[in-house]
Chain A
Amino acid sequence: MDKPPATLHDNRLLLKLLLLACVMFVFAWGLIPVYDALCRLTGLGSLQRPDTVGSQRLAATPLAPVLLTFDATVQPGLPWQVRPLTRTLHAVPGEFVRVDYEITNASNRQVIGQAIPRYLPAAAAEYVKKLDCFCFAQQAFAPGETRRFPVVFVVDKNVPAGLDSITLAYTVFDVPGRS
């Protein structure tokens, strides 16, 4: 005998530990909905949903304007050409602003795109309230198609005085497997 064979007691513990390993594997996947729910609850990552604008955001008296810069990037290898039709403008907090973006599908196939917005400085995100944006939904493009999209937003009147220059940048991705 090298050693006594594993007993029932040993095997039961083995099964429990295997079960623990399986539970932890499932737990890793369970973190996805938890993460999603947490982001929703805390408002993190809410840049792709329309904001509601109540009167408390809109100014009765004119405030000092904020310099807004519009930008767009496309990762190498993707079929998009994206350009803001307005590069910069001075927006008065509390007033509605509309700018247009032009997006071209430069490939000869149908593609679906998704734009992801980003603010610089990141703290500006909570003061720019977007009412309409092409980033709220995926957009389908025919081969070679060019379309214009409006972005409508308000700069919150509560924007801190130091925040006098905000960049809004979009990165456009294609959605794989959906073309």
Chain B
Amino acid sequence: MTAIDSALQPAHDTAHGHHAKPSGITRWLFATNHKDIGSLYLWFAFSMFIFGGVLALCIRAELFRPGLQFWQPELFNQFTTLHGLIMVFGAIMPAFTGLANWMLPLMIGAPDMAFARMNNWSFWLLPPAALLLLISFAVPGGAAAAGWTLYAPLSTQMGMGMDLTIFAIHIMGVSSIMGSINIIVTILNLRAPGMTMMKMPMFAWASLITAYLIIAVMPVLAGVVTMVLTDRHFGTHFFNAAGGGDPVLYQHIFWFFGHPEVYIMALPAFGIVSHIIPTFSRKPLFGYTSMVYATSSIAILSFMVWAHHMFTTGMPATAQLFFMYATMLIAVPTGVKVFNWIGTMWQGSMSFETPMLFAIGFICLFTVGGLSGVTLSIAAIDIQLQDTYYVVAHFHYVLVAGALFSLFAAVYYWFPKMTGRMYSEFWGKFHFWWSLLWFNVTFFPMHFLGLAGMPRRIPDYNMQFTDFNTMASVGAFCFGLGQLIFFANMLHSLRHGRPAAAKPWEGADTLEWQIATPAPYHSFVEAPDLEVGENGRIDAMHGGKHH
């Protein structure tokens, strides 16, 4: 840029008032700044995490002892259903979208997300959807109680709580599709010069592929819940056997969405860990190119394995074999990733700050969840374990110790860049060890419960399951308590944390650490010229302007 331009710039600034940070409630209601919208997403996701967590504790309180203690079975079913829906669509997905909003423009040198107003709308659709789910507890018949999968014919028979849930899913679907369009256009069109695709940070790659998955499968979910809606109210018989439909068709369409959805919640976690492990190992990511290809192959394979959720529907053995082998195949690219993370740590000069602890915890526990996943992929074993607590243990290892731990890692890792302050390292580490311990106390016994045949989604159980259930319930309440430590640490550090350096982590080398801390409200209004290495490592930055 020329000298004249820079001389004019300050005058230009004051002439346009909107350079200043807007204030008050309108800053959030009319937010178009990616950082503000990212913060909104993260706060929303955290409040949904608390809401979904309270539902989980209601479930665990009931299961503390056999017999009915607190809730009637109908209400218990509503808790399990809403816990699942809220954690998936209200907590984990919005949290990843929020992080992508916050960090993507900073990591690839873009001024903002591509469509700022659409970004605002993507976020503000979420609270009404959450509200629909919340008030569905108060309508006649209560909230949806068919499990988060909303299987027909249960879902075609329930009260109006199901209608509210269907509308909430429509709204959240529209929100996540718009959010994904924004992520894709930002990554494909707004990268700074020098930031080529095969140099781009893994978090950008993971977000890009996840966004494509969302656009491909959220409309399928919208389609299938619309069919449930028309079956309920408009006399169609898509899932009604008497009218020539088939309830199994619901499961096929649902899981065509449902399995890619699993990777929608896992791939961004892989992206986050692929930055934190190199940073705290002070080594570049091992096998960057293979990481990109592994992520893509996981995404493609995720469309071919849906029927492994349906081994007990009476499908032909040939189909069982196909879906069994296809599912096992996914362990290969996932194994490549785990291998590369370990390869990154190998002979690294490692240090164990909170983000690194959560990232290593992620690798260990996600692998446990992956292993039980391979076990479940074997059709002969799955038929035995279908709908038991083994499945519950499996997906909580990949979603809590996987997705959630990676989110904690990300929040600790980027907290200094977002807020300009350091969190309390002591309480961060305490939060990690506390969560690690109680997570395992909660979910590990569920493997044994499942192997012994305890069915999921049932409020009462046989006496023989008592001890492990009591353990799991104690673990769940302690785990929940630990999250309040996280909340208190964040709140306190937001105001009173010690000021953070521009690059608080010695080994961090991506673009967001090249700019001031906290990140300027308008960063990269002028794109920088970059010399970039693999995984977004910045070798040199020229130009680039912020206010």
Contact = CB atoms under 8 A, between A and B. Distances in A.
B525 A175 contact: no
Interface residues of A, number: 37
B252 A35 contact: yes
Contacts of A31: 249, 252-253, 256
Contacts of A32: 238, 249
A174 B246 contact: no
Given A2-B522, A10-B114, A28-B219, A116 B242 contact: yes
A120 interface: no
Contact of A14 (B111, B115, B224, B525): B115
Contacts of A27: 219-220, 223
Interface string A1-31: 1111011011001100110111011111101
B32 A6 contact: no
A24 B212 CA distance: 12
A87 B219 CA distance: 49
A122 B249 CA distance: 19
B215 A17 contact: yes
A21 B215 CA distance: 5
A42 interface: yes
B238 A2 contact: no
Most buried by B among A10, A35, A113: A10
Nearest to A28: B223
A28 B227 CA distance: 10
B241 A24 contact: no
A44 interface: yes
A105 B60 CA distance: 45
Interface in A138-177: 173-177
Contacts of A44: 316
Given A2-B18, A17-B184, A116-B241, A176 B235 contact: yes
A17 B185 contact: yes
B85 interface: no
A44 B315 CA distance: 9
B116 A2 contact: yes
A45 B16 CA distance: 68
B33 A20 contact: no
Given A4-B111, A24-B219, A25-B222, A35 B246 contact: yes
B10 interface: no
A25 B110 CA distance: 31
A63 B238 CA distance: 42
B404 to A, nearest CB: 28
Given A21-B218, A28-B219, A176 B240 contact: yes
Given A2-B522, A29-B223, A31-B253, A114 B243 contact: yes
Interface in B471-524: 522
Most buried by B among A2, A25, A177: A2
B215 A20 contact: yes
B525 A1 contact: yes
A2 B31 CA distance: 12
Contacts of A42: 316
A151 to B, nearest CB: 18
A165 B16 CA distance: 85
B314 interface: yes
Contact of B115 (A4, A10, A28): A10
A18 B224 CA distance: 19
A103 to B, nearest CB: 14
B220 A45 contact: no
A31 B223 CA distance: 10
B540 interface: no
A14 B211 CA distance: 13
B177 interface: yes
A15 to B, nearest CB: 10
B458 interface: no
A3 B185 contact: no
Contact of B111 (A3, A45, A177): A3
Most buried by A among B111, B177, B184, B219: B219
Contacts of B33: 2
A177 B188 CA distance: 50
B168 interface: no
B219 A13 contact: no
Nearest to B189: A10
A1 B33 CA distance: 12
B449 interface: no
A114 B115 CA distance: 52
B217 interface: yes
B181 interface: yes
Contacts of A1: 16, 525
B112 interface: yes
B216 A176 contact: no
Contacts of B253: 28, 31
Interface in B233-269: 235, 237-238, 240-243, 246, 249, 252-253, 256
Interface in B180-223: 180-181, 184-185, 188-189, 215-220, 222-223
Nearest to B256: A31
Contacts of B316: 42, 44
B198 to A, nearest CB: 20
B116 A3 contact: yes
Given A116-B242, A174-B242, A13 B184 contact: yes
B185 A10 contact: yes
B27 to A, nearest CB: 13
Contact of A122 (B115, B184, B252, B314): B314
A173 B240 contact: yes
Most buried by B among A7, A24, A44, A177: A24
Nearest to B241: A116
Interface in B80-114: 110-112, 114
Top-3 shortest CB links A-B: A28-B223, A173-B242, A177-B235
6 contacts: A3-B112, A3-B116, A17-B215, A18-B181, A21-B218, A27-B220
Interface of B: 16, 18, 32-33, 110-112, 114-116, 177, 180-181, 184-185, 188-189, 215-220, 222-224, 227, 235, 237-238, 240-243, 246, 249, 252-253, 256, 314, 316, 522, 525
